[in-house]
Structure 1
Amino acid sequence: SNFSLTDLRNAFSDYDGGFDLFGIKTVGGTNGGVLGKTAGISFNGSTALKVVTPKFSNTLYLRGYVAGVYNDNSWTPVDVNGNEDTFSDDFEQGKIWVQDLDYDLIQRKYADLTPSQISVSVLGASKKFVYAPYASLYSSDGNTDDKKMRPTTESYVKLSSTKYSLYYFDPSLIEERLEALPEAIATEVPALSVNKDRGVDAYSEFVHQKYMDISKSDELDKAYKEILSEYLGVDIYHKGDWTYEEISTAIKNYFSDNFTYTLEPGVTPKGEDFIDYFLGTQKEGYCSYFATAGAELLRMFGYPSRYVEGYVVLNSQLGEPEDDSTYEVSVKDKCAHAWAEVFIDNAGWYPAEFTPGYDNDNPNLTQQEKDPKEVTTTKSTESKPTTTTQNGGQGGTTSVVTKKPANSSKASTTKKTNSASNGHGAGVMSGAGKTSVSSRITENNSDHGSFVGIFITLGGLLFIGFGVVVHRDVKVKKMRSELSNGDNRSRTVAVYRYMLKYLKLIGIADSRNITDLQLCDRLTEKCQEMQINDFSHMIKYIGELAVKAEMSNSVISDGELETALSYFEIVKDKIVLPKLSGAKLLNAKFVYCLY
């Protein structure tokens, strides 16, 4: 019911990574912020990205889709109008984009650090946006002209080339503990740069205005109060009394103790709010569930936050280095992930991980996938993963904040050690007597999943191909009807409107706010620049006649209309069509539906 031409284009852009039909991807863990519409997610073993990078520590988060508005069970990007954007010009004068903010702050505050360089090839992942580490310099992507990546004013960066390179800073190079990294950067004093610092201040103000809206949810209020009383030991929260690390740890442990990670949580019932249902009834889900609730809770604790989808790569996945000490990693669909990110003033945006089992880990990877260097000795070990019970998290040691003592100003932190670690499939941890279940994936199931994925993809191709043909047929018939039916005035205006559409196909257009007569003058000038001199008078005639039809009470005669229509056919078939070939002609036929 929500299908549109944009969905159609997006489906084509994702054809090799599992079809993104009606905005819901059939494989992987990300779907453009749409929540609770599918019963679960599955993987077909496809390669989403290939990355070449120097060695890094901890988990490498590759940010893709970014959204800050939660509404109607989905996340969409923040919309920015011209009056609200008071920072882009300052950043541009400083030769950076707003997305370069965290890179620039680190570079200015830690001048002795050397950035790393990552090369990315986008294969099965969505082709709509760039995937990049945090603290990346997006504005220097190694491409030029139409292949250079393009930022939105806010949120994600649009992908223009499926191969690109970026400079970024590995946070582990900074000596402070990773958990305290954003706050550590914020305390440093940067070198003075008037435009950039003015832009940083303006952007921080913008972020606090746009990323602090909280969903109206009774269950969200209950979760907030439980974290206050049980994990921070207070009844009233004062932001200045706590560090971001303490707040994020409390939220993380609330999820670990009370919720279950699973790849098949079921759909959100019709009429139910996604957050309410997850927190109050469902109490299980995968990454996008925890990222959504976590982002909202961060806002309740006074931190601007937003929702992110992308991919995560463990440092253990690096395998053996190449000759030049770089590592090439095939990032599979199992590495698809969603997380929250937090904005720390004077530091920028940083990942906030709340999904149980993802602390420098990925519960969807087998042990062999987590560490390619590890050699599996027996088939029985590979084919029979053990079902385990875990307390408070998956794998390793999980930090749990205990109830704050009455005579203490800060909650104490203890360590709760897991009795076992589940390294295969979608492990689920215990918190109130719940038992974890690991998914048993055999080679036959993998083959079956791949066959089903191929079948779904082929079916989707056929369905979308049919949709393209029908859509084009409808649009072409509509154009012919507007040109053939109605009074002379409306038909004349239609001729002018469609002429502009055709000319735009070959770059003859002007987006400035000018009158129609001025526009026609500009179009004729562009025709002359392109050495299309014989037809410029036709464009001017159609424009002047359309102004006469739209702005005056003058009668448009049959002869005038016929002349305009004949000129229109010449523009369409003699000027535009010969200059269209290959992809441009397909675009004109099946996207713009003009031929």
Structure 2
Amino acid sequence: MKRKQTQNTNGISISDSIIMSVKHKNSNPRKPFSIIITLIGFISFIMAFLSMYALPFNKGNVLFASLCILAFYITISVIGGKSLWLYLASFLFFIFAIYKKSKLLKSGYKFAYNFIYKVTFEKDIDYFKKLKPSLMIPSITAIVIFVIWFVAMVMCFFTICRPNPVLPLLVTFPLLEIGLYNGVTISPFWGMLCIAYWLALLSMSSIDVGEYSGGQSGFVRKNNLFFPKRHMKLKVTERCGMLVICSVVATSFISMCFLKVTHYKRSDKINQKRHDISNAVEDFSFENLADSLSRLMISLGFDFDYEDDRLGDKSHIRYKGETDLKITVAKPVTGAVYLKECTRAVYDIDHWEPLPEEKYCCDLFDEFKEYNIYPQDYTALAYQMMNYTNNTNSIIIKPESRKSNKNYSPYNTVPTDSIGYLYDSVVSSPKNKNGETTYEFISNSIISSIHDSLSENEIITMFQCNISNITDKKWQDKIKSYCNEHDLITYDHFVNINCRDMLNSSLVSDNYKGILALLMQDEYKKFVYENYLSVPNTPEMEEIRKEFADVINNQDTGTTKKTLETLDNIRDRIFNECTYTLYPGKTPSTRDFVNYFLLENHKGFCTHYASSGVLLARMAGIPARYAKGYVIVGSDFDTGKVNEDGSVTVNVKDNRSHAWAEIYLDGVGWIPYEFTDGFSEDSIVPGSAKKTEPPTTATTTGSTTSSVSKDHNTTSVSSTSSNSGNTSLVTVTTTKAGDEGGILGPSGQRFRSRIPWIIKFCLKLYLLVATLVGILLIRRRIITKFRNKRFTTGNVSSRIIKMYGYAERMLEVLGMQSQNGNYISFAEEVEKGYAGVYFKDHEFEDFTQIALKTRYGNTIPTEEEAEICYKTVKGLSNNLYSRTSFIEKIIIKYIYVL
């Protein structure tokens, strides 16, 4: 029935008539389609996860609970309307149930994680210990039911009631990704259906999005008549979702058939890139976020390097074959050369730290500075006193740009005025314009020399030196001053000096710096035994003491030979019980790194061996610390470039990074000792006798013995060749750059503690909630900003039309919606219901008249009319918000963004 018709000079008739044309009644498929999509998503997610991890649980109980939960949420979703408050009630009950069943769920989480851990890392080791086997089935069943409950709640609401892919994706994808990034095989069929569900939900939430957000009316033209329509649906969103699912399934099937028929294979370059990204993702950990992001960025082709000191946070190590350093030695080198980056002394569960800086605040280190003799000089001075000065060599070290901020130095450096010292740990030399550093060093292996020189009857003797016989006035004054300060002059001008009977007395008497070094070494020895024998007082360390009591208790370490024999026994014991591999798996965060390696996993690379050897050496009463850097062995020098002047240049690859132990020998100083299996001075074949994992990088020939010791300060490694009977000084790091961190001053130490699982869970939950809240806040800010801009700037007519559409959306929240497209009658209904409450009397009618005139009239509205409309809209928005409950306020403000 036509109510009103006007004719203008343009020949266009505008009518607010109600004209409907219905050929036949069609059923509405929206609800059935949405239910089918929900079931597809729910079933595919559960089956995809179980295809990766077949958790042991009571299938009957889980199936019954799943059917009941699904039936409940599908029913209230289909009913809709006021019944949706049951979602909120059920969520609150869900939280209450978690609280009541917290102990059972905690146990279920541990059992499930143990199962997932074993499947993921292919180990028969429990991440969580001391769980009652009788509780496994009921506790896992409980946590599976709670996960299904939460997933069903989210899927049903955000698929049937309010189609939105954000929360369903956040809930389902991370659980599947647990297995995907660890390489666990997922069922292709169920995985494909999961993807189809996500895409279907995305399409359902985005189709006709402009019509929902803009709120503008449309018109249907017939001849010269325009008939208003309101939100006319040209497509059914759920039908589009079903179409997407069918399309994904069909496309996947066709693609699989095509690949099978054509035998398509990816190129090696693509495979390598995928391999690098997969490794980076596999090692990703929120507990080690910075290092994980660094590896991920590098795999994507970005230069972003970061190093961390944590041990056991990587499941494996892979080398790229890149050159990290370039070294040039003046003459060929016999054996191996260690290039030390840093040392660590304090061990704590999963990392090594430097000695606290306050330990160095003592008179001893002031004397080192005063007399310019440091512990780093002791080994070179010992060589000189044994008349090995003819073996002096020089080395030029040039790090690549990504390593330019690091310092690397050889052992046995000859003291010069240009060398700097970092307490008793490392030395440094000024870099030239090319970033190179140069050192003079003694190239012979100190351990090999001592092995050859020591006898069974080695004893420490007292060498008497008459200070008045020292011809060099400078050294005479230095030695006399030091002896007076420490009351070392026994009678007249004689001083007793501890030395080994292998040393030539006449040579010692001429080596004045060596004499003073021997005197100072007695004081430093006290410092060493006070700080480099400490072992954490924990149950994990006690377990190691009991297990290795036969090689650490009652050992004779009175002489150098006996000390080295004890270290060899420790090294051999580690070799017999552990296997060298670059794929040891991550150390669980609930485990001590060394305890887990020695007593449970028995698999590791150099950081495992070095750390273990250092701690065991300390338990045996031998001072030790942890060191890291690079090692260059005989085969590297053999294949190096020989220059015209006879020098040899070697490109040091990343597979020569290494961790080893440093052992303190009385009268000699700190020497490298190799605990890592499979290393020798000439070549590197890590764990060649027992290796079961895929080969990775350069390895050594011959079996070498290595030992590792740990403490709260540092770890070090040195190796002994069992074939030749000589101790070898070669170590090769199987750790990635960053496993043990770079050179840090004593103030750069970091301390970590174990975090209870409930705190970790709360933190992760907090991060998830904070992320969602942040998304909602940003979304609201963006929408409101652009909406206010559309209401206040631009064409006046366009502004008024947009404001009217916004007002209609707010009225829909109040339950008022124009069903027949008659705006005049709709305005009258709104006035009857809400005038004087949400706006002034006749205010909305005036607003409607202005909007209709703007849309259909031939006059341009004024700014004053736009201001009236804006005032009406703002008043309606403010009153709508202020007159709702707290929950409704949140929904209106952040979900509807009104």
TM, length-normalised to structure 1: 0.53
Contact 1:291 1:340 in 2 (8 A): yes
One-letter identity of the residue aligned with 1:57? T
Contact 1:305 1:340 in 2 (8 A): yes
Q: Which residue of 1 aligns with 2:684?
A: 362
Q: How many Å separate the matches in 1 of 2:704 and 2:675?
A: 12
- Residue of structure 2 aligned with 1:120, choices 382, 397, 412: 397
Is 1:164 equivalent to 2:437 in the alignment? yes
Is 1:331 equivalent to 2:649 in the alignment? no
Q: How many Å separate the matches in 2 of 1:225 and 1:3?
A: 32
Q: Which residue of 2 aligns with 1:498?
A: none
Q: Deviations over 1:23-45 (max 9, x none)?
A: 34xxxxxxxx4201111111111
Q: Which residue of 2 aligns with 1:351?
A: 672
One-letter identity of the residue aligned with 2:328? V
Contact 1:60 1:314 in 2 (8 A): yes
Q: CA deviation at 1:339?
A: 0.5
Q: CA deviation at 1:87?
A: 2.8
Structure 1 unmatched runs, 5+: 25-32, 142-148, 367-384, 401-412, 418-424, 428-595
Cα distance change, pair 71–219 in 1 and its aligned pair in 2 (3 A): closer
Q: How many residues align?
A: 367
Q: How many Å separate the matches in 2 of 1:291 and 1:179?
A: 25
Q: Which residue of 2 aligns with 1:207?
A: 528
Please state whether the residue corresponding to 2:652 is helix, strand or coil: strand
Q: Which residue of 1 aligns with 2:376?
A: 99
Please state whether the residue corresponding to 1:269 is helix, strand or coil: coil
Is 1:43 equivalent to 2:43 in the alignment? no
Is 1:65 equivalent to 2:65 in the alignment? no
- Residue of structure 1 aligned with 2:643, choices 319, 322, 336: 322
Query: Percent same amino acid among aligned pairs?
Result: 26
Please state whether the residue corresponding to 2:621 is helix, strand or coil: coil
Q: Which residue of 2 aligns with 1:271?
A: 590
One-letter identity of the residue aligned with 2:580? Y
Q: Which residue of 1 aligns with 2:622?
A: 303
Cα distance change, pair 37–426 in 1 and its aligned pair in 2 (3 A): closer
Q: CA deviation at 1:78?
A: 1.0
Deviates more, 1:84-93 or 1:304-313: 84-93
Q: How many Å separate the matches in 2 of 1:357 and 1:132?
A: 24
Q: Which residue of 1 aligns with 2:252?
A: none
Cα distance change, pair 151–192 in 1 and its aligned pair in 2 (3 A): closer
Deviates more, 1:131-140 or 1:274-283: 131-140
Q: Which residue of 1 aligns with 2:123?
A: none
Contact 1:120 1:164 in 2 (8 A): yes
Contact 1:88 1:199 in 2 (8 A): no
One-letter identity of the residue aligned with 2:422? T
Please state whether the residue corresponding to 1:81 is helix, strand or coil: helix
Cα distance change, pair 249–341 in 1 and its aligned pair in 2 (3 A): same
Q: Which residue of 1 aligns with 2:493?
A: none
Q: How many Å separate the matches in 2 of 1:263 and 1:175?
A: 29
Q: How many Å separate the matches in 2 of 1:150 and 1:115?
A: 19
Q: Deviations over 1:4-27 (max 9, x none)?
A: 999999x99xxx997543x34xxx
Q: How many Å separate the matches in 1 of 2:557 and 2:447?
A: 26
Please state whether the residue corresponding to 1:256 is helix, strand or coil: helix
Please state whether the residue corresponding to 1:137 is helix, strand or coil: coil
Q: How do 1:546-557 residues align onto structure 2 when only pairs under 5 Å count?
A: none
Q: CA deviation at 1:81?
A: 2.7
Q: CA deviation at 1:414?
A: 13
Q: How do 1:78-89 residues align onto structure 2 when only pairs under 5 Å count?
A: 78-81=355-358, 84-89=361-366
Q: Which residue of 2 aligns with 1:396?
A: 702
Q: Which residue of 1 aligns with 2:421?
A: 151
Please state whether the residue corresponding to 1:39 is helix, strand or coil: coil
Contact 1:129 1:159 in 2 (8 A): no
Q: CA deviation at 1:388?
A: 11
- Residue of structure 2 aligned with 1:252, choices 571, 584, 608: 571
Please state whether the residue corresponding to 2:642 is helix, strand or coil: coil
Q: Which residue of 1 aligns with 2:788?
A: none
Contact 2:375 2:669 in 1 (8 A): no
Q: CA deviation at 1:116?
A: 0.9
Cα distance change, pair 126–178 in 1 and its aligned pair in 2 (3 A): farther
Q: CA deviation at 1:131?
A: 1.5
Cα distance change, pair 307–260 in 1 and its aligned pair in 2 (3 A): same
Q: CA deviation at 1:134?
A: 1.2
Cα distance change, pair 65–107 in 1 and its aligned pair in 2 (3 A): same
Please state whether the residue corresponding to 1:239 is helix, strand or coil: coil
Q: Deviations over 1:148-197 (max 9, x none)?
A: x6432232346763311101112259984658789999553644556534
Q: How many Å separate the matches in 1 of 2:733 and 2:623?
A: 30
One-letter identity of the residue aligned with 2:314? T
Between structures 1 and 2, the one with greater helix share: 2
Aligned-residue Cα RMSD (Å) equals: 4.7
One-letter identity of the residue aligned with 2:581? T
Q: Deviations over 1:433-464 (max 9, x none)?
A: xxxxxxxxxxxxxxxxxxxxxxxxxxxxxxxx
TM, length-normalised to structure 2: 0.36
Q: How many Å separate the matches in 1 of 2:701 and 2:597?
A: 24
Cα distance change, pair 260–199 in 1 and its aligned pair in 2 (3 A): same
Contact 1:363 1:426 in 2 (8 A): no
Q: Which residue of 2 aligns with 1:467?
A: none
Q: How many Å separate the matches in 1 of 2:596 and 2:692?
A: 31
Q: How many Å separate the matches in 2 of 1:78 and 1:168?
A: 26
Q: Deviations over 1:309-334 (max 9, x none)?
A: 01111112112532322211000000
Please state whether the residue corresponding to 1:136 is helix, strand or coil: coil
Q: Deviations over 1:332-386 (max 9, x none)?
A: 00000000110111101001101101123323799xxxxxxxxxxxxxxxxxx99
Cα distance change, pair 179–314 in 1 and its aligned pair in 2 (3 A): farther
Structure 2 unmatched runs, 5+: 1-285, 460-498, 707-719, 725-731, 735-898
Deviates more, 1:243-252 or 1:182-191: 182-191
Q: How many Å separate the matches in 1 of 2:643 and 2:441?
A: 20
Is 1:56 equivalent to 2:377 in the alignment? no
Q: CA deviation at 1:93?
A: 3.9
Q: How many Å separate the matches in 2 of 1:350 and 1:363?
A: 22
Cα distance change, pair 88–5 in 1 and its aligned pair in 2 (3 A): farther
Cα distance change, pair 347–268 in 1 and its aligned pair in 2 (3 A): same
Contact 2:557 2:566 in 1 (8 A): no
Q: CA deviation at 1:249?
A: 1.2
- Residue of structure 2 aligned with 1:287, choices 563, 582, 606: 606
Q: How many Å separate the matches in 1 of 2:390 and 2:357?
A: 34
Q: How many Å separate the matches in 2 of 1:249 and 1:356?
A: 12
Contact 1:117 1:165 in 2 (8 A): yes
- Residue of structure 2 aligned with 1:240, choices 550, 558, 562: 558
